Amino acid sequence: MSKYGTKFVETPLIIKLKTKILTMKRQITLLGLLLIVTSTIISCKKDTTSLKAQMLGRWTLDRIVTTGYTADETLKDPTKINADVTYGKTSDYVDYKANNDDQVEVSLSGNRTIGTYIIIYSDQFTMDLNDGSNFCAVNSITGNKFQFTATINNRIKKVYYLSR
């Protein structure tokens, strides 16, 4: 016996066992890496079918058709009118942000308003803007056209026509 401990002779059996252990470690490491890569690819699948996924981004505001204001309301505030207003300039847009606050930015003739939106169902959402809480029902949505009807105070209706 030496002062450093017992020394073993590497027999063919010990060499074979070491080789098998190294091979198994490599296989387990490879399997672990494969599992991590696979789960990463699967978890990064993008949502393209939900209402929020379809709404996200900047839409050009083509027109708004407003109904439901009374004559008295229009006399008190001339911005509250029943009309079919055509927009369509680059400064006229609705931008649904993908941030954690679910913000919506609406720009009408250069006047910008920032509010929030909440998806309620697959075809309904709300927008809280300066004109109040808008309950919105989607009329149609495609990759380049979006039309919805916003109802304010169960009376005033605004039909938004958006495009990309």
Strands 93-96 and 132-141, sheet pairing: unpaired
> Do 123 and 64 fall into the same domain?
yes
**19 occurs within a structural domain:** yes
Domains in the chain, number: 2
- Which DSSP string corresponds to 52-68? HHHH-EEEEEEEEEEE-
The CATH number of the domain holding residue 63 is: 2.40.128.10
> Do 113 and 159 fall into the same domain?
yes
Express each pLDDT in 9-46 by its tens digit: 777 877 787 788 878 888 888 888 888 887 777 776 66
pTM, two decimals, is: 0.70
- Domain of residue 102 covers 51-163
> Do 28 and 78 fall into the same domain?
no
Express each pLDDT in 48-79 by its tens digit: 788 999 999 999 999 999 999 988 988 898 88
Q: Contact 93/111 with Cβ under 8 angstroms?
A: no
* C-alpha to C-alpha distance for 98 and 60, rounded to whole angstroms: 17
CB atoms within 10 A of CB 111: 10
